Amino acid sequence: MLKNTIFMLLSVLIVSYSVEAQMVSPYQVGTWSGFRTCAISYTFDDGCANQFTKAIPLFDEAGFKLTLFTVTGWTTNWANLQNAAAKGHEVANHTATHPNLSTLTVDKQKVELETSNSLINSKVSFQKSLTMATPYCAEGNDPLAAQYFLAVRGCQGFIEPKTPGSFMNVSSVICGNLGSVFKVKEFKSKADQAATSKGWLVYLIHGIDNDGGYSPLASDTLKSSLKYLKENDGKFWVNTFGNVARYIKERNCVSVTETLATETDISLALTDTLHNNEWYNYPLTIRRSLPSGWISASVTQNGKLVNSSVLEVNSVKYLQFDAVPDGGSIVISKAAATGQNELKGSSEQTKFKVWTDRKTIFFTVPSTCLPNPTVSLFSSNGMLVDSFNDCQIDGEIGKVSMVRLPKSGAFVVRLNDKRSSWSSQIILL
Ligand SMILES: [Zn+2]
């Protein structure tokens, strides 16, 4: 019965498309998160000491996430891995004993993958081990690996296109003094190549400075490479190996359907054909042309506010937002002015904190915020009270003077960096 209904719905869709074939869908899905040009993943193998003491702090400072491929049968510092996972870094499988998988029977490979996965999953919370790097980049049994992993990393040395030829042997580029990327200018040029090809660049790093790891890379070089990516944040999407793989697979089979549209609300279904929604839960970036007469909008998924912003591309105003396929219904609501509908709160929003000493409004600057953001204040009925393009930012704290502002009332303070916005309410008594 369900099948029949789906078939009928499909028929209706096909008919309506053939009738209105000239209509262009108002929705676009970003090839990469935030409609950036390319994706870059930094992966670290073998648990070399300075990956924890030097690399992770650099990534945390830049607001980027990395992947740690750990060998569970070696001396593994689980506290370090747990701390990394708590900050959103990926902890994943590099087998139990680091064998050359291509020389093992399928049964023995299975033991390597399962032993490592179950140890990681029992010791590290907040995430699951769902990707692997093969030791010595030697490809094992792909159908076996596909039962456990959404992607497996090799090291063929090329930049992957926007969809890799095989997710069971994703290419990476070896870094350090024995690799092809060692100096700052080589990192920049490799990143630029990824942008030109609009593809996915995966770095493979072992030792850092003098920790004794294979093919060491200077931490200063790593730092400079991150700085370059951060400065060009609109171009480079830096995220874990697993999250980029999720994004690619989801965007390649996603569909967007409007289920209801009124003057003030649009409901839509974002679905994909991937069956394992526990594996594939990463938000895709979607754009929709802003309906005429709308100035701004807020977007919720399952009733929770999601990242959204209004931006202009080639003189067309778009609403851009992040949502998870098969992650629940999405509602786009017209906002009288920017900000008003954003009081519902979400985990991302609660990270944005606002407070005042009555002379100055202070706020936390999210790590992903681009330079030169705008701060706007809205009254409780959504009217713009004042807007500041010149806020002072000192590290994680920003501030604007309250000289021009009313002395009492409830206000929404909104921080906007042209890509994302964060808002929070303050009440002045
Ligand atoms: Zn290794």
> pTM of the prediction?
0.75
pLDDT tens-digit series, residues 255-303: 999 888 888 899 999 999 999 999 999 999 999 999 988 988 999 998 8
pLDDT tens-digit series, residues 219-244: 999 999 999 999 999 999 999 999 99
- Reference 34, options 349, 344, 247; nearest CA is 247
Measured in Å, residue 196 CA sits from the centre of ligand 1 at: 30
CA 67 to chain centre: 13
Q: Is 200 in a helix, a strand, or coil? A: strand
pLDDT at res. 413: 79
pLDDT at res. 340: 41
Measured in Å, residue 135 CA sits from the centre of ligand 1 at: 5
pLDDT at res. 345: 38
Measured in Å, residue 182 CA sits from the centre of ligand 1 at: 18
Measured in Å, residue 215 CA sits from the centre of ligand 1 at: 11
Q: Is 198 in a helix, a strand, or coil? A: coil
CA 404 to chain centre: 37
pLDDT at res. 381: 56
Neighbours of 295 (CB within 10 A): 12
Measured in Å, residue 352 CA sits from the centre of ligand 1 at: 39
Measured in Å, residue 46 CA sits from the centre of ligand 1 at: 5
pLDDT at res. 14: 35
Computed from CA positions of residues 148, 149, 155, 157, in that sequence, does the dihedral angle turn out positive or negative? positive
pLDDT at res. 427: 65
Measured in Å, residue 139 CA sits from the centre of ligand 1 at: 13
Tell me, which fold does domain 253-335 have in CATH? Immunoglobulin-like (2.60.40)
Provide CB contacts within 8 A for 138, sequence distance 6+.
100, 101, 102, 103
Measured in Å, residue 226 CA sits from the centre of ligand 1 at: 23
Measured in Å, residue 25 CA sits from the centre of ligand 1 at: 46
pLDDT at res. 336: 64
Query: Are the beta carbons of 37 and 236 closer than 8 angstroms?
Result: yes
Measured in Å, residue 74 CA sits from the centre of ligand 1 at: 11
Measured in Å, residue 286 CA sits from the centre of ligand 1 at: 37
Measured in Å, residue 180 CA sits from the centre of ligand 1 at: 17
Cα–Cα distance for residue pair 81/43, rounded to 1 Å:
14
Alpha-carbon Rg for the chain, nearest whole angstrom, is 23
- In the predicted model, residues of the chain with pLDDT beneath 50 are 1-23, 338-350
Q: Are 37-247 and 253-335 equal in CATH topology? A: no
- Reference 43, options 159, 175, 202, 244; nearest CA is 202
Domain residue ranges of the chain, discontinuous segments joined by +: 37-247, 253-335, 347-428
pLDDT at res. 332: 94
Measured in Å, residue 354 CA sits from the centre of ligand 1 at: 45
Tell me, which fold does domain 37-247 have in CATH? TIM Barrel (3.20.20)
Provide CB contacts within 8 A for 352, sequence distance 6+.
363, 364, 366, 415, 422, 423, 424
Provide CB contacts within 8 A for 378, sequence distance 6+.
337, 338, 339, 340, 384, 385, 411, 412, 414
Measured in Å, residue 62 CA sits from the centre of ligand 1 at: 26
Query: Are the beta carbons of 369 and 383 closer than 8 angstroms?
Result: no
Token pair for 237: 């999407």
Query: Are the beta carbons of 57 and 313 closer than 8 angstroms?
Result: no
Q: Is 277 in a helix, a strand, or coil? A: coil
pLDDT at res. 351: 63
Q: Are strands 200-205 and 236-238 parallel, antiparallel or unpaired?
A: unpaired
Cα–Cα distance for residue pair 300/308, rounded to 1 Å:
9
Measured in Å, residue 115 CA sits from the centre of ligand 1 at: 16
Measured in Å, residue 199 CA sits from the centre of ligand 1 at: 25
Which amino acid, one-letter code, is at 321? F
Cα–Cα distance for residue pair 34/287, rounded to 1 Å:
9
Question: What is the arrangement of strands in the sheet containing 27-29, beginning at the earlier edge strand?
Answer: 27-29, 284-289, 316-323, 308-313
Cα–Cα distance for residue pair 390/374, rounded to 1 Å:
7
Token pair for 8: 């009928």
Instruction: Give, as one character, the DSSP assignment of residue 342.
Output: G
What class, spelled out in words, does domain 347-428 have in CATH? mainly beta
